[in-house]
Amino acid sequence: MKTLKVIKIGGKIIDNEAQLTSFLREFSSLKGSKILVHGGGKLASDLSNKMNIPVKFIDGRRVTNAETLDIITMVYAGKINKTIVAKLQSFGCNSIGFTGADGNTIIANKRSETPINYGFAGDIVKVNISTLKILINSDITNIFSAISHDQNGQLLNTNADTIASELAIAFSKDYKVELYYCFEKKGVLQRTNDDNSVINKINNKTYIELKKSNIISEGMIPKLDNCFYALDRNVSKVCIGNPTMLFDHHSNFTTIQKL
């Protein structure tokens, strides 16, 4: 069975042009089949502020009204996605940019307005990989922005970590799938102010203990929930850390494991 790497890039790496370019150069050199999922960084918020559109987050998740959805679509599916594709082409990595609407790949429902109204936020209900498999078999790398659709003409803002997890799960029937969450930190940290306090392995049992002791912050919990969700659905390997883990397996990063 062939290996497929699903890699999500986010955090401050997206916001830093030099770091992003360096990552994409390395990413382009990775052998084998791969998919890249990217977040939006600060650019969507910066553009919203310039246009006097209020930026609102609840529990770390963006509230997406109609105006904000327009901004997100322009930034995620436009500026960031196409910049990434263009840079990858310059490094010899043939790629194509996607939202969930393209190829009918990621279908979602608008999240319920109760108990919290997040606006045009999407919860994924189905992933279609037929078009993606054709591209992968033609050595074309798929680059996903964090947008899904409802099959009724409505785009929806969707968590990029969740998109990466759901894509990894969908491909796990046909590939040995490895899921990597890349950001600026070396991994999940024992102490948030100590970048070298990486927890190298987290399993179901230690995850519960880390949450009880408040070592894992609120922002990391949804990411780890996606990790265990993927492992429970046949994804073979899940890791969290900075991009070095993709190219140097002796580097310090966090591996998520089932008991």
C-alpha distance from residue 230 to each of 64, 156, 158, 183 (Å): 26, 22, 17, 19
State yes or no: pLDDT of 74 exceeds 90: yes
The residue with tokens 């084998």 is 32
C-alpha distance from residue 251 to each of 22, 34, 121, 228 (Å): 17, 21, 36, 22
State yes or no: pLDDT of 246 exceeds 80: yes
- Band the pLDDT of 96: cuts 50, 70, 90: very high
What are the tens digits of pLDDT across the range 144-169?
999 999 999 999 999 999 999 999 99
Distance separating alpha carbons of residues 253 and 245, to the nearest angstrom: 6
What are the tens digits of pLDDT across the range 29-55?
999 999 999 988 788 899 999 999 999
Distance separating alpha carbons of residues 224 and 202, to the nearest angstrom: 9
Structural domain count of the chain:
1
State yes or no: pLDDT of 21 exceeds 90: yes
Domain containing 152 equals 3-256
Q: What is the CATH classification number for the domain harbouring 215?
A: 3.40.1160.10
Give residue 40's pLDDT.
Answer: 85
